[in-house]
A and B are shown apart, each in its own frame.
Chain A
Amino acid sequence: MQNQKSSDSDLERLRTLILGSEIEHLKDLDKRVDNIFDSDELRQIVTKSISKEIENNRDKMIDALYPIIGAMISKYVTQAIKEMMQNINNKIEDGLSFDRYKRAIKSKITGVSEMELLLQDSNTTIILSLFIIKKESGLLVAKSQLDDRGIDDPHMVASMASAIRDFINDWIKSHKSQSEVQILSYGDATLYIESAGSVYIIAFLNDEPDFKLRKSINNFFASIIKEYSTFFQTFDGDDESKEVESLSSKMYEYLNLQKSPFESKKRDKNRKPLKYILYLVLLISTIYITYNLNISYMEYRLETLIKDKTNQEIEVNQVDDNLLLKGSVAQLEDIYEIEKIIKSQTTHSIKNNLIVPIDNIIDVVESKDNKISTLNQENSISIDKLNEKIIYINRQLKKSEHQINQLKKDSKKEIEIFKKVDMKKEIISKLDREFENNKFYIESEKSLDFRDLHIFDVGKVKYNVDKIDIVSKNFEEFISILSEYIEYIDSIIIEGHTDSVGDEAKNMELSLKRASAVRDYLISLPIIEDSFVKYLIEIDGLGSKEKIEVDGVEDKEASRRIKIKLKLKDNI
């Protein structure tokens, strides 16, 4: 160990002896280099050198930088505001839209760059031709055109376009603007020009390109510049070089990216209605399935909960807005418990069709509360007997119901008769009820007999005026009851009567006149005048046929009277 230390020390001394001055010199050089880097001297040299390089080889520098800062080099000044607005709109759209995420995912999955997908997404504006043109000479470096939309003489067109571009740019510059022309439109044709250092690209389009399409063209152009910048700088007009071939191929591929989307977009347009219908059907199906799944899940959840809490297996079904409970439970209390559980879980109404075996109910009732048993005992009725009676009554009821139904089925006519019979009873019972305490009402005849009124003097047709009011008052009451049943009334007969004194034929005549006199008065009453009843009123003269006798002696004053009788239709 000591030997090793001693050896290292010797080596260090030897190094100092041999290389001492060189080491010192190296340290000194290091220090000087550090000072140079820290000083402004070198910075100035480098800056000057870069500036000179830019001045001498401006186009080379731009070509080198274009792929990195192409967008900055592009002169958007003339369309700055338009660009900015479009940019904002697109960013909002891009940032919020589902399309952006879809494009990113699609790019990841398919391996197709977002630039290409962007081109596919752009509107129906289509690039018909792409020219790469040498900036100074206007010579066409490379071109690509859609098969059926080509330009006849691309080299001349490239030069002419270049001349036009130079002319406009010169004019713009003479007006102290730093921008360059980017869009040229004539008729249906539009030229989009994007310039780099030594070349520029012209896209011939069928319409003005939107932001997406310009972005796509610029991205493509940047990728071309990056790959071919050296070639562009040295291009001497020879279009048979391998670079031109590969460049043209790339441009052709780029152009064809838009071909299929363009065509498929047209197909999409035709497919749109069907597509929307399919979306709608899908949406409705999804909603329907979700809704039913939700219901099924709720039913299942309730059934499970009920099973857990009550140990009863029942079926829960949602019908409209109600919950229909089906099945059998052991105890009456289970039903209450189940309803309680359901109410705690939902707001649906409950339709309870649960069955509890009757024996279980009786058992429960008897075991839990003896009151019923006691009551039964007090009334000497057992539950069994009560049950039997209920069953018997139920049978009878069912029998009656069956009979009624049978009757109803027999014929409509019979049903009508049934109704009418019923109606006759109703009319009669109503009259009886309303005139129960009326001394003029004769229940057996359903008539008003004014025998006690002594309304007629001997041999007179004219009634006593001071008594006719009583007749009219009772008549009004009579009619008010019957007015509800007019359709069942055959007639209301005003009968005139005489005493038995004198010739019966004359009495007959007198009685009819009395009836007529009273009728004339009664039909002038407001209740009659405005009613259909007046057409039902008839008169009859009975002479002394129905004279009044009391203990075998005629009460002649009573015999001279008026009777008002009701005649219902025969078919009721």
Chain B
Amino acid sequence: MIRKKIVILGDFSVGKTSLIRRYVDGSFDDKYLSTIGVKISKKSVDTDSGSCELIIWDIEGNTPTKSIPLTYYKGASGAIFVVDITRSETIENLQGHIDRFIQVNPDAHYIVAYNKADILDDTQKDAFELDSYSFLTSAKIAQNVDILFSRITQDMMI
């Protein structure tokens, strides 16, 4: 089986861990997030190109007291950037996260999850102009979570 490393990045408290918890087959305890800033989970995904096991690195967002080592980014074949649609600063910080990741992994694929979409009504949802690499997601109602991971996996497998 092919395995790929994927990192989940974004500001503090945007719902990264909740998204993963919704999705994965197995996971380490959350305590690792608060101790070393990363938690490993895994998920098997079937794509048109074959099966793949994602090794998901849920990387804690930077906080004023803790900076996350860039070495966590290394070797990742893909990344999911998560923002909280209810907090504009998380959207403003998105490009910074992407730039840092691309700097370390210039050939990697990435995708953006606009999370906590369950609070939006349909009109509001339509107002979001999303490209094929952006999704409105909600861990709470399991909206677009599978699609999110399938898409990034598909990209990584090509």
Closest chain A residue to B104 by CB distance? A136
Inter-chain contacts of A240 with B (CB < 8 A): 1
CB pair B28 A239 closer than 8 Å: no
Docked CA distance A137–B38 (Å) = 13
Interface assignment of B72: CB less than 8 Å from any CB of chain A = yes
CB pair A136 B2 closer than 8 Å: no
CB pair A166 B1 closer than 8 Å: no
Within 8 A of B (CB), among A231-254: 236-240
CB pair A138 B75 closer than 8 Å: yes
Docked CA distance A210–B77 (Å) = 38
Interface assignment of A169: CB less than 8 Å from any CB of chain B = yes
CB pair B28 A160 closer than 8 Å: yes
In the assembled complex, the CB of B129 is this many whole angstroms from the nearest CB of chain A, namely 33
Indicate whether A163 sits within 8 Å of B2 (C-beta atoms), given known contacts A137-B76, A139-B75: no
Interface assignment of A46: CB less than 8 Å from any CB of chain B = no
Interface assignment of A503: CB less than 8 Å from any CB of chain B = no
Size bracket, chain B contacts = 20 to 34
Docked CA distance A138–B4 (Å) = 10
In the assembled complex, the CB of B29 is this many whole angstroms from the nearest CB of chain A, namely 10
Closest chain A residue to B5 by CB distance? A137
Within 8 A of A (CB), among B26-60: 26, 28, 32, 36-38, 40-42, 53, 55, 57
In the assembled complex, the CB of A189 is this many whole angstroms from the nearest CB of chain B, namely 15
Interface assignment of B88: CB less than 8 Å from any CB of chain A = no
Interface assignment of B124: CB less than 8 Å from any CB of chain A = no
Docked CA distance A163–B55 (Å) = 12
Closest chain B residue to A141 by CB distance? B3
Docked CA distance A238–B52 (Å) = 9
Inter-chain contacts of B76 with A (CB < 8 A): 137
Interface assignment of B125: CB less than 8 Å from any CB of chain A = no
CB pair B40 A159 closer than 8 Å: yes
Docked CA distance A163–B58 (Å) = 11
Q: Name the contact of A139 in the complex, choosing from B5, B32, B41 (C-beta under 8 A).
A: B5
Docked CA distance A188–B40 (Å) = 23
CB pair B53 A155 closer than 8 Å: yes
Docked CA distance A134–B72 (Å) = 13
Inter-chain contacts of A153 with B (CB < 8 A): 26, 42
Interface assignment of B96: CB less than 8 Å from any CB of chain A = no
Interface assignment of B71: CB less than 8 Å from any CB of chain A = yes
The interface bits of chain A over 119-145 (1 if a CB of B lies within 8 angstroms of the residue's CB, else 0) are 000000000000000111111100000
Interface residues of chain A: helix, strand, loop or mixed (majority): mixed
CB pair B75 A159 closer than 8 Å: no
How many residue-residue contacts, CB under 8 A, span A and B? 71
Closest chain A residue to B69 by CB distance? A170
Q: Name the contact of A239 in the complex, choosing from B3, B69, B72 (C-beta under 8 A).
A: B3
In the assembled complex, the CB of A475 is this many whole angstroms from the nearest CB of chain B, namely 117
Q: Name the contact of A137 in the complex, choosing from B2, B28, B36, B75 (C-beta under 8 A).
A: B75
Interface assignment of A164: CB less than 8 Å from any CB of chain B = yes
Inter-chain contacts of A237 with B (CB < 8 A): 2-5, 77
Q: Name the contact of A156 in the complex, choosing from B2, B37, B38, B40 (C-beta under 8 A).
A: B40
CB pair B71 A170 closer than 8 Å: yes
CB pair B72 A236 closer than 8 Å: no
Interface assignment of A297: CB less than 8 Å from any CB of chain B = no
Indicate whether A140 sits within 8 Å of B42 (C-beta atoms), given known contacts A135-B75, A163-B72, A166-B71: no
Indicate whether A134 sits within 8 Å of B75 (C-beta atoms), given known contacts A237-B4, A238-B2, A239-B3: yes
Inter-chain contacts of B28 with A (CB < 8 A): 156, 160
Closest chain A residue to B36 by CB distance? A167
Inter-chain contacts of B41 with A (CB < 8 A): 156
Interface assignment of B100: CB less than 8 Å from any CB of chain A = no
Inter-chain contacts of A138 with B (CB < 8 A): 5, 55, 57, 75
Docked CA distance A139–B40 (Å) = 11
Q: Interface size (A, Cβ < 8 Å)?
A: 23
CB pair B3 A163 closer than 8 Å: no
Closest chain B residue to A136 by CB distance? B75
Inter-chain contacts of B57 with A (CB < 8 A): 138, 159, 163
Interface assignment of B22: CB less than 8 Å from any CB of chain A = no
Within 8 A of B (CB), among A158-178: 159-160, 163-164, 166-167, 169-170
In the assembled complex, the CB of B69 is this many whole angstroms from the nearest CB of chain A, namely 4
Docked CA distance A140–B2 (Å) = 11
CB pair B75 A166 closer than 8 Å: no
Interface assignment of B74: CB less than 8 Å from any CB of chain A = yes
In the assembled complex, the CB of A323 is this many whole angstroms from the nearest CB of chain B, namely 85
Inter-chain contacts of A163 with B (CB < 8 A): 32, 36, 38, 40, 57, 72
CB pair B55 A139 closer than 8 Å: yes
The interface bits of chain B over 59-92 (1 if a CB of A lies within 8 angstroms of the residue's CB, else 0) are 0000000000101101111000000000000000
Inter-chain contacts of B42 with A (CB < 8 A): 153, 155-156
CB pair B75 A169 closer than 8 Å: no
Inter-chain contacts of B53 with A (CB < 8 A): 155
Closest chain B residue to A164 by CB distance? B36
Docked CA distance A140–B42 (Å) = 13
Docked CA distance A137–B74 (Å) = 6
Inter-chain contacts of A139 with B (CB < 8 A): 3-5, 55, 75
The interface bits of chain A over 86-109 (1 if a CB of B lies within 8 angstroms of the residue's CB, else 0) are 000000000000000000000000
Inter-chain contacts of A156 with B (CB < 8 A): 26, 28, 40-42, 55
Docked CA distance A164–B28 (Å) = 13
In the assembled complex, the CB of B77 is this many whole angstroms from the nearest CB of chain A, namely 7
Inter-chain contacts of B40 with A (CB < 8 A): 156, 159-160, 163
- 9 pairs from A and B in contact (CB 8 Å cutoff): A137-B55, A138-B5, A139-B3, A153-B26, A159-B5, A163-B36, A170-B69, A236-B2, A237-B2
Binding site for B on A (CB under 8 A): 134-140, 153, 155-156, 159-160, 163-164, 166-167, 169-170, 236-240
